């Protein structure tokens, strides 16, 4: 298992937030924390998601979220395995 942090930027979040939240809910058993910051003046939201799972799990969620229009996602995955 690895620790992963996903940095997500949602442009026009009202249009994509529902689909984003549905995908995140599918991985809720792996998610340990989520922090969101709205930038209403810029019609943008920034969300950080911390999760523990396999590299494949982390990459799968990253890819699915990144396929949503208006969503940009980057993942950072720990090198060290955790128990």
Q: Are 45 and 38 in contact (CB under 8 A)?
A: yes
Q: Is this prediction's pTM over 0.85? A: yes
H-run or E-run covering 18: helix 13-26
What is the reported pLDDT for 83?
80
Regarding the domain with residue range 2-77, which homologous superfamily does it belong to in the CATH classification?
ACT-like. Chain A, domain 2 (3.30.70.1150)
Instruction: Give the residue among 65, 18, 19, 9 at the shortest CA–CA distance from 39.
Output: 9
Task: Give the Cα separation of 26 and 28 in Å (integer).
Answer: 6
**Block residue for tokens 């943008």:** 44
pLDDT tens digit sequence for 49-59: 999 999 999 99
pLDDT tens digit sequence for 16-69: 999 999 999 999 999 999 999 999 999 999 999 999 999 999 999 999 999 999
């Amino acid at each position: 298992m690895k620790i992963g942090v996903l940095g997500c930027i949602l442009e026009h979040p009202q249009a994509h937030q529902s689909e984003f939240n549905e995908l995140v809910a599918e991985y809720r058993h792996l998610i340990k924390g989520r922090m969101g910051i709205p930038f209403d003046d810029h019609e943008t939201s920034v969300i950080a998601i911390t999760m523990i799972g396999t590299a494949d799990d982390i990459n799968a969620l990253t890819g699915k979220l990144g396929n949503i229009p208006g969503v940009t996602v980057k993942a950072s995955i720990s090198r060290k395995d955790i128990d």
